[in-house]
Structure 1
Amino acid sequence: MDLRRLSHVVVLAEELHFVRAAERVHLSQPAFSRSIQTIEAELGLRLFERGERGVSDVRPTPAGLFVIEGARKLLFDARCLRRNIDLYRDVELGDASFGTGPFPAVMLMPRVLAELRREHPKVGLRVEESNWKQLLERLRAEAIEFFVSDTTELPRDASLTVRMLAPHPVDFFARAGHPLVGRPCTFEEVWDYGLASATPPEVMKNQLTALLGTQVSDSSFLALECDNFAIPRAVALTTDTVLAATRALVSADTASGALALLDILDRPSLIVQPGIVSLTGRAPSPMAQKAMECVERVARELAGVAGAAVSQA
């Protein structure tokens, strides 16, 4: 079966327009039409219904839908095989591209990337930092091999494989000398000073809404939301804004006394549940596999440190 013609079938299914599909694969419209007609003849199936104008009203037939689904899998496997053959031929681990959410970017990536660079100095690493929705788009587009992010809102999808990492509770921290430091307080008092955090998932917003009731504004949920964690951290260190974070994220600041853990009497129980997300059925490149193993190892070590800190608190 001709993979090139199968790719034309998939492109036409996505564009639903012969001219646009032909332009996308850099063929003339007549040549593209002949390619579709040829594979339909080979299979003995009509894959697309043509409209009256022939090029502007195209939709897959039931047989076409069946073939398109299988074609996508074949083309995906072919790309994976081609990549792995290239790596095998070159006797190299290959470069790796992956993504990270804001919490793992601070908690895990400095150690992970340092270890990978020490062990494999000739390998190239490309890391994208963003929220899980954008990272998922990049993963499905095969622009990255995996990403590490909070999985609380990640859709349960058979096309995704998730390797869960240790969960981390969210605590609340304020700068040294803050009016709330050194005494018990309520979450309402914390809220009055303004809360800064990476963008929280909906489940966290719902928990805080239930706790605070009418005080929550739909238009501006937190005082500061930013997926670059360095920004809310810097604001909390220099203002009375309270920082929502895991203990591992601010361990250096709490050790130095720059930030202090608040004693909140009605502290909400919020959890960050990170995981490693990849495409089901796609074998990772050797370097991506080593990177995922490194992420898991560092996450286990940090979970042990965080657990010891909690037991001592």
Structure 2
Amino acid sequence: MDLKRWAHIVAVADRRSFIRAAEQVHLSQPALTRSIQAAEAELRLQLFDRGTNEVVATPAGEFVVARARQLVFNSRCLERDVELYRSRGLGDTAFGVGPFPAATFLAPLLTAMRREFQGINLRVEISNWQLLLKRLLEEDIEFFVADTRDLPSDPNLYVRALRREPGGFYVRAGHPLTTRKSVTLQQLWSHGVLSVRLPAGVRAVVTRLLGLGSSAELSLALECDDVEVLKQVALASDSVLAAPDAAVAQEVAAGRLHALEVTGLPSQSSEMGVVTLRGRTPSPMAELIIGRLPTTGAPAQR
């Protein structure tokens, strides 16, 4: 069967609509319908149930779609690898970065890249791991760097561990809590905590220490994926900032932010990793950037 027809099958399965799938593959809706009908006739299988609300793959269709998806993916990888082999250049790249790496080592990394490779174009998306994973699976980015503790187990993903980034709680100079040698988590939380989205494990620890019934009861005064924004709010209010130590090192050194000693709280650190699609060859520039990340040298986690 023609590879384009396999791609049509995948598009219908993903979009659950002939109209939306036709837009994706740049065909008219009748032309796409004829393509799927021809595929079903050739395979002698009904691939989709045409419901009134949406198109759903039949059990046979799910079987075929899974293999068609791999065929389409491998085809795109082959085309890309051939182009890289032919050009033998570093090439442009796009990648994603979570809030903590964005606040710690991203700027120095990008500065070095711009100084060394002025002819290369980079696109960086800063977001939470959920959105970055969606971009990766859509092949909109080559890889992303983020805290991977809540990342779902997926055989299609390859994760390379980075160094741990320790973190803590910080308040502005002159904050009422700075007069205390140590504070309880309850005292800290009463001032309002600013943080990125907390991993499930961290939420569980904090929920237990605060004596809450469930993590659903745990609330943040401000949740934001931009650590720089959180930092500015903490500097201008009595809110308490939860952040990696490296992200606030300059403010701490200048005396603008102070670390809090929290009674009974275990030390916390992010567990960042580089996430790529298994089986996809990174571009030379992507490999170069990944090679400069602060890795632990540990093997892949998944």
Q: TM-score, normalised by structure 2?
A: 0.87
User: 1:104-153: per-residue Cα shift (whole Å, max 9, x none)?
Assistant: 10111011111222221111000011111111111111111111111121
Determine if contact 1:182/1:263 at 8 Å carries over to the other structure.
no
Report the counterpart of residue 32 of structure 2 in structure 1.
Answer: 32
The answer for the alignment partner of 2:45 in structure 1 is: 46
State how far apart, in whole Å, the 1-side matches of 2:233 and 2:27 are. 54
Query: Is residue 159 from structure 1 mapped to residue 156 from structure 2 by the alignment?
Result: yes
3-state SS in 2 of match to 1:180 = helix
Q: Is residue 49–residue 57 contact of structure 2 (8 Å, CA) maintained in 1? A: no
What is the aligned residue count?
A: 296
User: Alpha carbons of 1:17 and 1:109: their partners in 2 closer, same or farther (altered >3 Å)?
Assistant: closer
- Residue 248 of structure 1: SS of its match in structure 2? helix
Structure 2 unmatched ranges of 5 or more: 298-302
Quick one: which amino acid aligns to residue 209 of structure 1? T
Q: Aligned residue for 2:97?
A: 100
The counterpart of 2:251, out of the listed 226, 250, 253, is 253
Instruction: Give, in angstroms, the shift of residue 214 of structure 1.
Output: 4.4
Query: Is 1:67 aligned to 2:40, yes or no?
Result: no
| Matched residue type, 1:68 | V
CA shift for structure 1 position 7: 1.1
Match of 1:310 in 2: none
Residue 128 of structure 1 aligns to a residue whose secondary structure is strand
**Match of residue 300 from structure 2:** none
Report the Cα offset of residue 265 of structure 1. 2.6
Q: Which has the larger radius of gyration?
A: 1
Q: Output the CA distance in 2 between the equivalents of 1:272 and 1:254.
A: 19
Question: What amino acid is the match of 1:206?
Answer: A
Is 185-194 or 11-20 further displaced after alignment? 11-20
**Aligned mates of 2:19, 2:223 — CA distance in 1:** 44
- The answer to whether the Cα contact below 8 Å between 1:98 and 1:126 also exists between their aligned partners in 2 is yes
Cα distance in 1 between the residues matched to 2:272 and 2:54: 44
Write the letter of the residue equivalent to 1:244: A
CA distance in 2, matches of 1:220, 1:195: 11
CA 29–252 in structure 1, closer or farther in 2 if over 3 Å, else same:
closer
Q: 1:227 aligns with which of 218, 225, 228?
A: 225
User: What is the CA deviation profile of residues 56-99 of structure 1, one whole-angstrom value per residue up to 9, with x for unaligned ones?
Assistant: 88554444333221111111111112122223333321111011
How far residue 23 of structure 1 moved from its aligned partner, in angstroms, is 5.0
Per-residue displacement from partner, 1:33-70 (whole Å, max 9, x unpaired)? 44334444544x3242566x9x9885544443332211
For residues 240 and 123 of structure 1, the distance between their equivalents in structure 2, rounded to whole angstroms, comes to 43
Q: Is there any run of 5+ residues in structure 1 with no aligned partner, and where?
A: 301-313
SS in 2 for 1:154: coil
Partner of 2:111: 114
Provide, for residues 144-200 of structure 1, a one-character-per-residue CA deviation record: whole Å limited to 9, x for no partner: 111111112111111111111122232111222223225322222222222222221
Q: Which amino acid aligns with 1:12?
A: V
What corresponds to 1:150 in structure 2? 147
TM superposition score normalised by structure 1: 0.84
Whole-Å separation in 2 of the counterparts to 1:103 and 1:271: 10
Work out the CA distance in 2 between the residues paired with 1:16 and 1:190.
48
Over aligned residues, Cα RMSD in angstroms? 2.7
Aligned pair in 2 of structure 1 residues 171, 139: CA closer, same or farther (>3 Å)?
A: same
Match for residue 201 of structure 1 among 199, 202, 214: 199
| Distance in structure 2 (CA, Å) of the matches to 1:49 and 1:217 | 41
